[in-house]
Amino acid sequence: MSEATLTRLAEEPPAPAARRALGLPAGTWPRILMPLLIGVLALSAWEIAVRVNEVPHYVLPPPSVIWATLRADWGTLSASLGITLQITFAALAVAALLGLALAVLFAQSKWIELSLFPYAVVLQVTPIVAIAPLIIVWVDDIRLALLICAWIVAFFPILSNTTLGLNSADHNLVDLFRLYRASRFQELVFLRLPSALPLFLAGLRISGGLALIGAIVAEFVAGTGGRASGLAYRILEAGYQLQIPRMFAALLLICASGIAIFLALGLVQHLALRRWHESALRREG
Amino acid sequence: MSQPAPPASAPSPAVSSRPLVVLRGVEKRYGAGTLAVRGVDLAIGAGDFVALLGPSGCGKSTVLRMIAGLIAPSAGTIDWPQAAHDAAGVAQPRLGFVFQEPTLMPWTTAVGNVALPLRLAGVARAERLARAAEALRRVGLAGFERAYPRALSGGMKMRVSIARALVTRPDILLMDEPFAALDEITRFRLNNDLLEIWRQTGVTVVFVTHSVFESVYLARRVAVMAARPGRIVREIAIDAPYPRGEAFRTSAEYAAFCRTVSGALGEAIAA
The CA distance from A189 to A182, in Å, is 11
Q: Domain residues of chain B, as ranges?
A: 104-169
Q: Could you count the other beta carbons within 10 Å of the beta carbon of residue A48?
A: 11
- Most A CBs within 10 Å, among B97, B98, B105, to test the A interface: B105
Please give the model's pTM, rounded to 2 decimal places: 0.84
Q: What is the mean pLDDT of chain B?
A: 90
What whole-number distance in Å separates Cα of residue B118 and Cα of residue B129?
A: 9
Gap between the Cα atoms of A85 and A81, Å rounded = 6
Of A7, A176, A277, the CB nearest to B97: A176
Most confident of A224-233, B13-22, B136-145: B136-145
pLDDT tens profile A246-265? 999 999 999 999 999 999 99
CA angle B209, B211, B215 (to 5 degrees): 70
Give the per-residue pLDDT at A222. Answer: 83
Contacts of A176 in chain B (CB under 8 A): 97, 99, 103, 116
Cβ within 8 Å of A, B 97-116: 97, 99, 101, 103, 105-108, 110, 116
- Is A58 strand, coil or helix? coil
Is residue A45, in this structure, part of any structural domain at all? Answer: no
**Inter-chain CB proximity B152 and A170 less than 8 Å:** no
Taking the C-alpha atoms of residue B24 and residue B39, their distance in angstroms, rounded to an integer, is 7
Number of Cβ within 10 Å of residue A246's Cβ equals: 23
Report the C-alpha gap between B256 and B262 in whole angstroms: 10
Q: Considering only residues B90 and B115, tell me which one the structure prediction assigns the higher pLDDT.
A: B115
Task: Kindly report, residue by residue over A197-247, the tens digit of the pLDDT.
Answer: 999 999 999 999 999 999 999 998 887 655 568 899 999 989 899 899 999
Q: Which amino acid is at A198?
A: P
Q: Does the pLDDT of residue A23 top 80, yes or no? A: no
Q: Does B192 touch chain A (CB under 8 A)?
A: yes
Segment (H or E) for A145? helix A142-167
Q: A32 lies in a domain? A: no
For chain B, give the number of residues.
Answer: 271
Please say whether the beta carbons of A165 and A229 come within 8 A: no
Nearest to B83 by CA among B215, B199, B171, B9: B171
CB contact under 8 A, B152 and A197: no
Beta bridge partners of B172: B95, B204
Which residue(s) pair with B206 in the sheet?
B50, B174
The pLDDT value given to residue A225: 59
Domains identified in chain A, total number: 1
Distance CA B29, CA B177 (A): 22
Asked if residue A165 belongs to a domain, the reply is yes
Of the listed ranges A67-81, B12-26, B52-66, B191-205, the one predicted with least confidence: B12-26
The pLDDT value given to residue B86:
85
State whether residue B271 sits within 8 Å of chain A by CB.
no
**Residue A140 pLDDT level (bands cut at 50, 70, 90):** confident
Provide CB contacts within 8 A for A78, sequence distance 6+: none
Query: CB distance A5–B140 less than 8 Å?
Result: yes
Q: Which residue of B has its CA nearest to A278?
A: B150
Rounded-to-integer distance, Cα B146 and Cα B169, Å: 22
Kind of pairing between the strands at B95-98 and B172-176: parallel
Say what the pLDDT of residue A22 is. Answer: 67
Q: What is the pLDDT of residues B93-130, one digit of tens each?
A: 999 999 999 999 999 999 999 999 999 999 999 999 99
| CB of B186 closer than 8 Å to CB of B163 | no
Across the interface, which of B121, B146, B193 has its CB nearest the CB of A180?
B121
How is the beta sheet containing B75-79 ordered, strand by strand?
A: B35-45, B19-29, B75-79
Asked, for residue A161, whether it belongs to a domain, the answer is yes
Element containing residue B229 per DSSP (H, E):
none
B117/A269 Cα distance (integer angstroms): 29
Q: Domain range holding A127?
A: 72-273
Whether residue A31 lies inside any domain: the answer is: no
The helix or strand, by DSSP H or E, that contains position B18, with its residue range, turns out to be: none
Q: In this model, does residue B261 exceed pLDDT 70?
A: yes
Considering only CB atoms, B107 lies closest to which of A172, A180, A276, namely A276
- Between A10-19, B117-126, B262-271, the lowest mean confidence (pLDDT) is in A10-19
Residues of B in contact with A177 (CB under 8 A): 120
- Picking from B116, B120, B152, the nearest residue to A10 by CB comes out as B152
Confidence of residue B15 (pLDDT cuts 50, 70, 90): low
pLDDT-derived band at A16, boundaries 50, 70, 90: very low
B49: left (phi over 0), alpha (psi -120 to 50) or beta: beta
Helix (H, G, I), strand (E, B) or coil at B97: strand
Whether B269 has a pLDDT exceeding 50, the answer reads yes
**Interval A55-86: pLDDT, tens:** 998 889 999 999 999 999 999 999 999 999 99
Strand ranges (E), chain A: 20-21, 24-25
Phi, psi of A228 (to 5 degrees): -95, 60
Instruction: Write the CATH number for A239.
Output: 1.10.3720.10
Nearest chain B residue to A182 by CA distance is B120
Distance CA A79, CA A74 (A): 8
Considering only CB atoms, A170 lies closest to which of B103, B147, B192, namely B103
A248 lies within 8 A of chain B by CB = no
- What is the β-pairing status of strands B49-53 and B204-209? parallel
Q: Where residue A48 falls among pLDDT bands split at 50, 70, 90? A: very high
CB–CB of A179 and B140 under 8 A? no
Question: What is the distance in angstroms between the Cα of A9 and the nearest Cα belonging to chain B?
Answer: 6
Residue A29 is predicted with a pLDDT of 82
Helix (H) or strand (E) holding A278: none
- 111-170 of A, contacting B, C-beta below 8 A: 170
CB-based burial, A250-280: b 16+ in 10 Å, e otherwise = bebbbeebbeebeeebeeebeebbeebbeee
- Residue A259, H or E segment: helix A244-273
In a domain, A111, yes or no: yes
Q: How far is A24 from chain B (nearest CA, A)?
A: 24
Q: What is the pLDDT of residue B14?
A: 55
